[in-house]
Amino acid sequence: MRCRLRRPQPGRPVRRPGRDRQGERFEGQVALVTGGGSGIGLAVAEVLAAGGASVGLFGRNLERLRTAEKKIVAAGGEATACAGDVRDLDSVQSAVAEVEQRYGPITFAVNAAGTGVGQKYLCDEDEESWLRTIDTNLNGSFRFCRAVVPGMMHRRRGSIVLVSSAAGKRGVPANTAYSASKWGLNGLVRSLALEVGSAHVRVNAVCPGFTDTEMVRGESL
């Protein structure tokens, strides 16, 4: 099942049957959520869709994204699956273009894609696993921001949220790569917020603690 192609008219939210006023807080908005097939990303996407936003679900596992899409559509929301990888700038930019062609300009961008798989003590960690963690969590956040920021600044409107971690605020043994990537992500948020604030674009991080998600069970999103 694909989502409806109806595009909300800017400034004229369309009320959907059965949704009360509290559930319209995102009506007429367009969101892109990475890691949207499961875990924190899916939870965020469901809240945005329930509030009236049209949501693009981005991630590497298309089957999982399709399942999430059907779940949101069955609940009365609008969503579309966009397969891709935050380690590839072209695929992120393609997802942005696809979502904006389908629904209109992205106003909310949430990067929940990340990996914590295979974390070890530094003395046991090889360079390949270190670089994979940094490339997904930190460089992936850069690519995500690079893909959505120019349009938001041009329109002088937008909100970006990067999902960081409590590990980005304190050291965690046997998680050196993960902690380093999240500390870097928090620095990215602080600096980018200063760069784009004058264009009315907000940039924030959320830093959850240990959360029971697929990533914690050994999967990359």
Select from 132, 120, 191, 204 the least CA-distant residue to 163: 204
Indicate the residue type of 208: P
- Cα separation values, 59 from 12, 116, 187, 211, Å: 31, 16, 24, 19
Q: Cα(176)–Cα(122) distance, rounded to whole angstroms?
A: 6
Question: Is 178 considered catalytic here?
Answer: yes
Asked if 61 and 85 touch (Cβ cutoff 8 Å), the reply is no
Q: Cα(89)–Cα(16) distance, rounded to whole angstroms?
A: 35
| Catalytic residue, candidates 26, 108, 144, 178 | 178
Measured at the alpha carbon of residue 42, what is the angle toward residues 175 and 119, in degrees to the nearest 5?
10
Query: What distance, in Å, lies between the first and last C-alpha atoms of the chain?
Result: 23
Q: Which residues are catalytic?
A: 178
